A and B are shown apart, each in its own frame.
Chain A
Amino acid sequence: MNEIKNKTNFEINQVINEPYKYGFKTKIEKEDFPIGLNEDIIFLISTKKNEPEFLKKFRLNAFKKWLKMKTPDWANLEINSINYNDITYYSIPKQKKKLNSLDEVDPEILKTFEKLGISLEEQKKLSNVAVDAVFDSISIGTTYKEKLGKAGVIFCSISEAIQFYPKLVEKFLGRVISSGDNFFASLNSAVFSDGSFCYIPKNVQCPLELSTYFRINDKDAGQFERTLIIAEKNSSVNYLEGCTAPQFSENQLHAAIVELITFENARIKYSTVQNWYSGNEEGIGGIYNFVTKRGLCLGKNSNISWTQVETGSSITWKYPSCTLLGQNSSGEFYSIALTNNYQQADTGTKMLHLGQGTTSKILSKGISCGYSKNSYRGLVKIGLNANYSRNFSQCDSFLIGSSSLACTYPYLDIWNSTAIVEHEATISKISEEQLFYLTQRGIKIEHAIGLLINGFCKDVVTMLPMEFATEADKLLSLKLEGTVG
Chain B
Amino acid sequence: MNNLLLKIENLEASINNKKILKKFNLEIKENEIHVIMGPNGSGKSTLSKILAGHPSYSIEKGLIEFSRQNLLEMSPEARSHEGLFLAFQYPIEIAGVTNYDFLRIAYNEKQKYLKQDELDPLQFMELIQIFLDKLKMKTEFLNRNLNEGFSGGEKKRNEILQMLVLKPKLIILDEIDSGLDVDAIKIICEGIKKNREINSSLIVITHYPRILNYLIPNFVHIMIDGKIVKTGNMELVNYLEEKGYEQLNN
- What is the interface of chain A, defined by CB distance below 8 A to chain B? 1-2, 4-5, 7-8, 431-434, 436-445, 447, 451-452, 454-459, 484-485
Within 8 A of A (CB), among B59-96: 59, 72, 75-77, 79-81, 85-86, 88, 91-92, 94-96
**Known A-B contacts A441-B162, A455-B97; A447 and B105 likewise in contact (beta carbons under 8 Å):** yes
**For the complex, is B226 an interface residue (Cβ under 8 Å from A)?**
no
Chain A: minimal CB distance from B162 (Å): 6
List, in ascending order, chain B residues with CB within 8 A of A455's CB: 94-97, 145
* Cα-based distance from A457 to B101 in the complex (angstroms): 15
Contacts of B52 in A (CB 8 A): 436, 440
Please report the C-alpha to C-alpha distance between residue A2 and residue B81 in the assembled complex, in whole angstroms.
22
Please, how many angstroms separate the alpha-carbon atoms of A484 and B53 in the complex? 25
Residue on A nearest B106 in the bound complex, by CB = A441
Which B residues are within 8 Å of any A CB, using their own CB? 13, 49-50, 52-59, 72, 75-77, 79-81, 85-86, 88, 91-92, 94-98, 101-102, 104-106, 109-110, 113, 121, 145, 162, 166
Kindly provide the distance from the CB of B108 to the nearest chain A CB, expressed in whole angstroms. 9
Complex CA–CA separation, A441 to B166 (angstroms): 8
How far does the alpha carbon of A456 sit from the alpha carbon of B146 in the complex, in Å?
A: 13
A8 to B55, CA, bound (A): 8
Q: Which residues of B have CB within 8 Å of A454? A: 96-97
Residue of chain B at shortest CB distance from A484: B101
Contact B96 A439 (CB under 8 A): no
> Which B residue's beta carbon lies closest to that of A431?
B92
The CA-CA distance from A174 to B73 in the complex, in Å, is: 64
Q: Which of B13, B105, B162 contacts A451 (CB 8 A)?
A: B105
Pairwise interchain contact B94-A436, C-beta atoms closer than 8 A: no
Interchain residue pairs with CB less than 8 A apart (18): A1-B72, A431-B92, A436-B55, A436-B92, A438-B94, A438-B102, A440-B76, A442-B80, A442-B110, A443-B106, A445-B77, A451-B94, A451-B105, A454-B97, A455-B97, A484-B98, A484-B105, A485-B104
A82 nearest CB across to chain B (Å): 38
> Given the complex, which residues of B lie within 8 Å of A433, measured CB to CB?
92
Chain B residues with CB under 8 Å of A431's CB are 92
Minimum CB–CB distance for A329 against chain B, Å: 30
| A248 nearest CB across to chain B (Å) | 36
Alpha-carbon gap, A441 to B76, bound state (A) = 8
Q: What is the minimal beta-carbon distance from B154 to any residue of chain A, in angstroms? A: 16
Q: Beyond A4-B75, A443-B106, list 16 extra A-B contacts (CB 8 Å).
A: A1-B50, A1-B57, A434-B94, A437-B91, A437-B94, A440-B88, A441-B80, A442-B77, A442-B81, A442-B113, A443-B105, A444-B109, A454-B96, A456-B96, A458-B96, A458-B97
B110 contacts which chain A residues (CB < 8 A)? 442
In the complex, the answer to whether A434 meets B96 with C-beta atoms within 8 Å is no
Chain A residues in 8 Å Cβ range of B94: 434, 437-438, 451-452, 455
What separation, in Å, do the CA atoms of A439 and B110 have in the docked complex? 11
A442 and B106 in contact (CB under 8 A), knowing A1-B57, A1-B58, A484-B101?
yes
Q: Which residues of A contact B59 (CB under 8 A)?
A: 1
A233 to chain B, nearest CB (A): 38
Contact A459 B81 (CB under 8 A): no
A455 CA / B95 CA spacing, docked (Å):
6
Asked if B53 and A4 make an inter-chain contact with CB atoms under 8 angstroms apart, the answer reads yes
**Minimal Cβ-Cβ distance residue in A for B81:** A442
Q: How far is the CA of A258 from the CA of B209 in the complex (A)?
A: 68
The CA of A406 and the CA of B76, in the complex, are separated in Å by 31
Indicate if the CB atoms of A440 and B86 lie closer than 8 Å.
Answer: yes
Are A447 and B96 in contact, CB atoms less than 8 angstroms apart? no
Minimum C-beta distance from A363 to chain B (A): 13
Q: Which single member of A444, A452, A484 contacts B77 (CB below 8 Å)?
A: A444
Give chain B nearest CB distance to A95 CB in angstroms. Answer: 48
Min CB distance A336 to B, Å, is 12
Smallest beta-carbon distance B249→chain A, Å: 29
- Cβ contacts under 8 Å, B109 to chain A: 441-444, 447
Q: A436: nearest residue on chain B (CB-CB)?
A: B54
Contact partner, B53, options A439, A451, A458, Cβ 8 Å: A439
- CB contacts (< 8 Å) of A458 on chain B: these are 96-97
Return chain A residues, CB-CB under 8 Å to B76. Answer: 4, 436, 439-440
Q: How far is the CB of B66 from chain A (nearest CB, A)?
A: 14
- Interface pairs A-B: 6 shortest CB-CB: A455-B96, A442-B80, A458-B96, A439-B76, A5-B55, A437-B92
